[in-house]
Structure 1
Amino acid sequence: MAAARSLPYRWRVPMVGWVVSRIVSPLAHYDDRIRKNLALVCPDLPQAEVERLVRAVPDNVGRTLAEIYSGEEFLARVSDLPLEGPGVEALEHAHKENRPVIIAAGHFGNYDAWRGALNARGYRVGAIYRPMGNTLFNEHYVEAITTIAEPLFARDSDLRQMLRFLKSGGMVAFGFDQAFRRGAELEFFGQRAMTPISAAELALKLNAPLVPIYAIRQPDGLSFRILVEAPIPPSTAEEMTQALNDALEVQVRAHMDQWFWIHRRWK
């Protein structure tokens, strides 16, 4: 990444995408994982489309990594992006009323683009993150994502601080599209998948809106559209989380190359 940062931004982002797609992904067996996931949930997908996604998915992952490590240059590109969708009013109202918001975010597009856009508007937006297994990588990765917006809360270790932040009127983003040992066995792409329900549980506990949000990469590969969906209606934590899965699936089906199919979502 240090070498990549020596390049102009417009070259850096696609270059890192190419490296991850063409070199890292085959070596790390991401190619095999993408094919396996697609064979499970989209068995009728034409083989040509599968092979396109085998290259396009890690390209998006690499671009996302390059953007996150670009700090201020990345923020300059996303800070003025308009917020679109039926959930924008809910975010604005909660911000003005100093009420907590639970944001539901999948590993889709660039999940830090919307965070930078909200932060630039003066929204106090934090995020839960899962520490990487490699502590050396985790240290500089956390430093990089901290430049986008803060505070950040490590999963299972900073929960008290996160609760204080929410109760003071902050917004916190939760990821919900990776396999977790704890949670509920819900449906995603027609298959049962262990899904964390903590975001919905907390939204119910705090009487806070649960708002899905997406940063959709545009055809130029460098810009984004920020989509804020309407808050999930309160019900049970399981029903609300299933609604999150359903909403994310709609977006993934519309932009198949932008979801992180490299994850072991269905175990």
Structure 2
Amino acid sequence: MIEKAQFSNKLFHPKYWSLWFAASLARLTQYLPLDKQMKLGAAIGRLVKKLISRRVSIAKRNLELCFPDMPEAERERLLERNIEEIGKAIFDITNAWWWSDEKVQRHMTIKGQAHIAQTIADGHGVILFAVHCLPLEMGARIFGQFHPGVGVYRPHKNPVMEYLQVKGRLRSNKALVPKSNLRQMVKSLRNLDVIWYTADQDFGRSSATFVPFYAMPDAATITGASTLAHLGKAKVLPFSVIRNADDKGYTIEIMPPLDNFPSKDHAADAKRGNTIIEQIIDKDRAQYMWLHRRFKTRPNQDSPSVYK
């Protein structure tokens, strides 16, 4: 369990100077009003569209696969909004890592926090069942204002980025656990901690079951939430964060714990989980991270990629 960002003089090596400079510029933007940040972020998204053309094509294909009955013009508008939201997410991260608690509290709305208190009072750890929405960093920072939790994360290969993300994510939360450390996750849950868990990406064949996701009948879906809930004697509570429509604040919502979860059927649990993920995404589809290859693993290994 990581409870403090580890700084080393090696991080000042000249090869990292450009990254430190970029981080310093990003940190300065925290002083802009939130709605001005978001206007700038939308412009950045439109500006870098050609630079991330491969990711844009993946997002477009995902939208085609998930919403085949949506009129093409509507899908194109959704894609354009999504590109703008990607630019805005730069400032979501900046705000999550560097805003003061007082400034976070001025821009946040929290719904359903009583579900956390009741679940813990009942003697259960909490798994926040989240999705890879673009303002997710702010969701964790806001949650920590009333109940510091434990983040499950992927350590960054770049040591400066690792230092920055650990320091930023510990601003209002108690610890981080690498996603490979299942034992520590279980231990945290049995200690009645709260952890974030996401199951909306394709992690390959070995840990997946194939269940529906929107219009795709066979999306590779991990069943880790069932395993964690069982081993950690924990409850699973759906969790969402969205940037408000006026771009002047953020809203997180914690929903009641799922009944009869996990069941004895992990595939049924995964299918149920995907239905919940869809409901969270549908709060604002443009704020979801459509640019990852959600359907890269096919049930039949010989099937052609859906992204070609």
Q: What is residue 141 of structure 1 aligned with on the other side?
A: 165
Q: CA offsets, 1:3-30, max 9 Å, x none?
A: 23323332334323431x1233421222
In the alignment, does 2:28 pair up with 1:41?
no
Q: Distance in 2 between matches of 1:209 and 1:23?
A: 43
Q: Distance in 1 between matches of 2:103 and 2:190?
A: 31
Q: Distance in 2 between matches of 1:14 and 1:27?
A: 20
Q: Give the 5 Å matches for 1:179-190.
A: 179-181=202-204, 182-190=207-215
Shift of 1:153: 1.2
Q: Give the 5 Å matches for 1:72-87.
A: 72-73=98-99, 75-79=101-105, 81-85=108-112
In the alignment, does 2:237 pair up with 1:211?
yes
Correspondent of 2:281 among 252, 262, 266: 252
Distance 1:213 1:144, change over 3 A: same
Q: What is residue 28 of structure 2 aligned with on the other side?
A: 6
Q: Distance in 2 between matches of 1:162 and 1:248?
A: 21
Counterpart contact for 2:150–2:174, Cα < 8 Å: yes
Correspondent of 1:264 among 285, 289, 293: 293
Counterpart contact for 2:125–2:189, Cα < 8 Å: yes
Residue identity in the other structure for 2:184: Q
Q: CA offsets, 1:39-87, max 9 Å, x none?
A: 11212323332232223213223323322223342744444644325xx
Q: Distance in 2 between matches of 1:170 and 1:77?
A: 26
Q: Give the 5 Å matches for 1:41-80.
A: 41-70=66-95, 71-73=97-99, 75-79=101-105
Q: Give the 5 Å matches for 1:123-162.
A: 123-132=147-156, 137-156=161-180, 158-162=181-185
Counterpart contact for 2:148–2:172, Cα < 8 Å: no
Distance 1:60 1:76, change over 3 A: farther
Q: Compare 58-67 and 203-212 and name the one that shifted more.
A: 58-67
Q: What is residue 219 of structure 2 aligned with on the other side?
A: 193
Residue identity in the other structure for 1:201: T
Q: State the identity %.
A: 23
Q: Distance in 1 between matches of 2:221 and 2:89?
A: 24
Shift of 1:180: 0.9
Distance 1:150 1:9, change over 3 A: farther
Residue identity in the other structure for 1:83: I
Counterpart contact for 2:190–2:233, Cα < 8 Å: no
Q: What is residue 305 of structure 2 aligned with on the other side?
A: none
Q: Distance in 1 between matches of 2:291 and 2:86?
A: 9
Correspondent of 1:27 among 51, 68, 73: 51
RMSD of the alignment, in Å? 2.5
Q: Distance in 1 between matches of 2:273 and 2:25?
A: 38
Q: What is residue 3 of structure 2 aligned with on the other side?
A: none
Q: Distance in 1 between matches of 2:139 and 2:208?
A: 26
Higher-Rg member (1/2): 2
Q: What is residue 267 of structure 2 aligned with on the other side?
A: 238
Counterpart contact for 2:226–2:269, Cα < 8 Å: yes
3-state SS in 2 of match to 1:69? helix
Unaligned runs of 5+ in 1: none
Unaligned runs of 5+ in 2: 1-22, 297-308
Residue identity in the other structure for 1:145: R
3-state SS in 2 of match to 1:39? helix
Shift of 1:241: 2.8
Shift of 1:37: 0.9
3-state SS in 2 of match to 1:173? strand
Residue identity in the other structure for 1:42: F
Q: What is residue 174 of structure 1 aligned with on the other side?
A: 197
TM-score (norm 1): 0.86
3-state SS in 2 of match to 1:107? coil
3-state SS in 1 of match to 2:275? helix
